[in-house]
Structure 1
Amino acid sequence: MTQCVLITGASCGIGLATADYFHRQGWNVAASMRDPTQDHILGERPGLIRPQLDVCDPKSIQSAVNEVLERWGRIDVLVNNAGYGLIGPFEAADEMQVRRQFEVNVFGLMAVTRAVLPSMRAAGNGALVNISSMSGYSCFPYYSLYHSSKWAVEGFSESLRYELEPFGIRVKLVEPGVVKTDFHTRSKDSSALAAYEPHCERSLARMDRFYRFGNSAERIAETVYRAAASNSSKLRYPLGWDARAAYLLKRIAPDYLISRLTRFLCAG
């Protein structure tokens, strides 16, 4: 029987590449997005639908899940990809920006997961693939709110896997390092405050230099597929030299060494 994947945030970047990759592997694909009418790339394909799904709207979540189950009767894999990035000084962020950071990256991810779990539990099988980041276990200046949302995803996923193991449901974290997609133009927001400007501009300019070395969306899609298809209990899939190095340093290096390296990379 053909397997089915539901992907959030599939209109661009990692989500789009993942939808295309799963479809080319012969899967039924539900490439959900906030506004399917704006999709000019995936188009109409056999075995692919584009449900309207806004992770901040519980009604659209349940409607999309129902549409997939009515169409194919199953959801074998959920890829929680939809994301929002708030960058800049924490002090400058307003309440709405802070709440949106967590509504999309954390509460939205949880809401979609909750809607999908009953069908997976009834089937006794499934996989949740949460798109995290090296930002979920490392930290850089002026990414404090984005980091905190990804750290929440990491903790949620690590704990949830123990709850779901008895039901045959696997939890996976795909943790890319720097990514070469338009996330930083389409899904990024920023905060600013004059007192921080000289330091913030210098730090973010140094960080921007690394993006040309980042992972492609297509490479991340391949890793998402590998994680989804694996029956192993492996939780984390760091992707890219930067993510693997950061993960190793977090495990073996003392805090003072990590902080000195971070200052050198971001504030030198």
Structure 2
Amino acid sequence: MSVWLVTGASRGLGVEIARAAVAGGEKVAVAARRPDSVPEDIRESEEVLTVGLDVTDTDQIYRAVEEVVGKFGRIDVLVNNAGRGLLGALEEISDAEARSLFDVNVFGLINTTRAVLPHMRTAGGGKLVHIGSRSGFEGEPGVSMYSASKAAVAGVSEALAAELEPFGIQSMVVEPGVFRTDFLDASSVQLPERRIPDYDGTPAHVTLDWAGEANHTQLGDPVKGAAFIYQVTSGETLPLHLPVGADAFERREVMTARIAREIAPLHAASAATAYVDAERADS
């Protein structure tokens, strides 16, 4: 039996990951900005502790972590799921809107991880599961800032995997494709206050139109996706990246092939940018 802390656990993948963990016999702390928004079937479970947590409030993060450790004695798995979206062309997005997104998706994740790590180091192990996105691997039009925030999550997770290996702590970034959750609802995704008509009909605004049409019709099943994430997390060794969903795998393959194709002709010229050893040059 492990102790899990799942942030952003009132709905979507967060609540389904919490349900999967409870069904697997784990003790689970579910964290949400509004604890009363966590579904009753989760809140009423004897194996669940519900805590209030706004990941943009550092003091609240540390209080929530101490509450979980005080209740269960430790935290074995941290699932950094809290996050939100921001759609629009980069030119339309204000500095305040971009910074607000990063406060949740990046700095909230960093600060929550920072609060949990001393407990994991003391225990001699643990697992960090960061919910990134398919868009963190492939920047997509209309979601530039969201893609940037999730690319940051991937970079942090990869670095943590190396930094924390001496302590027996593993780190994995989960990169879901599109799942049928509330993510595209107005309560989860923000649109910029300014809309530039010149972008109408271009890829950035096509994404905006798609988001309205795709809401609650996405192909990904969050229950199955969460069960898969739980299954992998419960294994002995975490992969560095975990794409979830057929679209996540397909887009990764497309982008990997494109990168390989485009850089192959440039390899020799790129390598030639190094200093030339003086002795070899003389000979």
Structure 2 SS opposite 1:5: strand
Q: Report the Cα distance in structure 1 between the residues aligned to 2:158 and 2:73, rounded to whole angstroms.
A: 28
The residue aligned with 2:98 is: 98
Query: When the two structures are superposed, what TM-score results if normalisation uses the length of structure 1?
Result: 0.90
The residue aligned with 2:113 is: 113
The residue aligned with 1:265 is: none
Q: Report the Cα distance in structure 2 between the residues aligned to 1:92 and 1:253, rounded to whole angstroms.
A: 28
The residue aligned with 2:2 is: 3
The residue aligned with 1:221 is: 226
Residue segments in structure 2 that go unaligned for 5+ positions in a row: 263-283
Structure 1 206/46 Cα, relative in aligned 2: closer, same or farther at 3 Å?
A: closer
Aligned residues: 256
Q: Report the Cα distance in structure 1 between the residues aligned to 2:109 and 2:230, rounded to whole angstroms.
A: 19
Is the 1:174–1:223 Cα contact (8 Å) retained in structure 2? no
- 1:252 Cα deviation (Å)? 2.3
Q: Report the Cα distance in structure 2 between the residues aligned to 1:33 and 1:183, rounded to whole angstroms.
A: 15
1:161-200 matches, within 5 Å, as 161-185=161-185, 186-191=187-192, 192-199=195-202, 200=204
Structure 2 SS opposite 1:253: helix
Structure 2 SS opposite 1:180: coil
- 1:207 Cα deviation (Å)? 6.2
Structure 1 181/21 Cα, relative in aligned 2: closer, same or farther at 3 Å?
A: same
Structure 1 203/70 Cα, relative in aligned 2: closer, same or farther at 3 Å?
A: closer
Structure 1 SS opposite 2:51: coil
Establish whether residue 244 from structure 1 lines up as the match of residue 245 from structure 2.
no
Query: When the two structures are superposed, what TM-score results if normalisation uses the length of structure 2?
Result: 0.85
- 1:90 Cα deviation (Å)? 1.5
Structure 1 residue identity aligned to 2:106:
V
Identity %: 39
Structure 2 residue identity aligned to 1:232:
T
- 1:208 Cα deviation (Å)? 6.0
Residue deviations 1:101-150 (CA, integer Å, cap 9, x gap): 11111010000000000010111111000011111111211100000000
- 1:233 Cα deviation (Å)? 4.7
The residue aligned with 1:31 is: 30
The residue aligned with 1:262 is: none
- 1:19 Cα deviation (Å)? 0.9
Is the 2:75–2:126 Cα contact (8 Å) retained in structure 1? yes
Structure 1 residue identity aligned to 2:63:
S
Structure of higher CA gyration radius: 2
- 1:168 Cα deviation (Å)? 0.6
- 1:43 Cα deviation (Å)? 2.8
